[in-house]
Every structure is written in structure tokens, then in C-alpha cells.
Amino acid sequence: MSTIFSKIVAGEIPAYKVAEDENFLAFLDINPLAKGHTLVIPKKETDNIFDIEDNEYQQLFLFAKKVANAIKKTVPCEKIGIAVVGLEVAHAHIHLVPINSIYDIDFSKPKLSLSANEFALISERISSKL
């Protein structure tokens, strides 16, 4: 099985990458709840985040912490909200969402539609704050 996120890892489909190392990747959500909405994934494909082996799980959250702090420096917001859902893509991922109110992390609300230029600019700006 190869998820859409594994295809991003393999470079088979494009993504606006924010951060990457040997084991983890962060990229902008294509249907964001807010500007800067980022997904953090382990490159190794596992569906349920709580099935990830302890050391990799800890490293994933440490990687997400660095990315969240870079998003906070880039996007004006009160907090970076964190969520794990995984109902759409069966490849463990952490949502990092800039929020000013609880409504900003309501996954049932309409998503933003951003241009390619906006996505590129946001991902570059976050990357530069890492």
C-alpha cells in the first residue's frame, strides 16, 4: 500500500515542503483551515499514529515542535493548535493549525483556497524560521 503522503515523500506528487529530515517531513495542507496549516508525517508509512514505535513517536513530536515554533514566528496567531484525525489519509500525521479561536480548528468548516504563490510564500517563510 502506498498512501498519497508516501507519494509526496517519494517526490511522485508535489507538496509545499516546510521541513524535512531523514525520517520526517512537514508540508502545507492543500485544503487548509488557516494560512500556515501544516501536516507533519513520519516518512515510514503507518496508519494509526499510536501504532508508531515509541522512539519514532517521540522524534515525530519533537520534529513537530520545531515546525510549530517556526509557524508561530511566521503567522500572526494566538497559538498553534495541534490535532490528529487521520480519517481521510491512512498515513499518520499531525495537523499544526495557527489559531485565534476554537473555531479556527473546526475541521467541519469551509477550507481556505490559496493560490500557488501564497502556498509557496508561506512554506518558504516558515522554512526560513526553522
In the bound state with ligand 5GP, the residue whose beta carbon lies nearer, of 15 and 70, is 15
In the bound state with ligand 5GP, the residue whose beta carbon lies nearer, of 39 and 70, is 39
Shortest distance in whole angstroms from residue 112 CB to ligand 5GP: 10
- DSSP label at residue 12: S
Segment holding 4, helix H or strand E: helix 4-9
Shortest distance in whole angstroms from residue 89 CB to ligand 5GP: 4
In the bound state with ligand 5GP, the residue whose beta carbon lies nearer, of 15 and 71, is 15
Q: Which residue is associated with the grid cell 525520517?
A: 23
Shortest distance in whole angstroms from residue 114 CB to ligand 5GP: 11
Task: Tell me the longest C-alpha to C-alpha distance in the chain.
Answer: 39
Shortest distance in whole angstroms from residue 81 CB to ligand 5GP: 13
Contacts of 118 (CB under 8 A, 6+ apart): 35
Q: 93 an active-site residue?
A: yes
Other CB atoms within 10 A of residue 77 CB: 17
Q: How far apart are CA 130 and CA 125, in angstroms?
A: 9
Question: Active-site residue among 37, 91, 93, 95?
Answer: 93
Nearest C-alpha neighbor of 64 from the set 100, 24, 104: 24
Residue ranges in contact with ligand 5GP by CB under 6 A: 4, 15, 27-31, 39, 85-89
In the bound state with ligand 5GP, the residue whose beta carbon lies nearer, of 27 and 63, is 27
Looking at the annotation, which residues are catalytic? Answer: 93
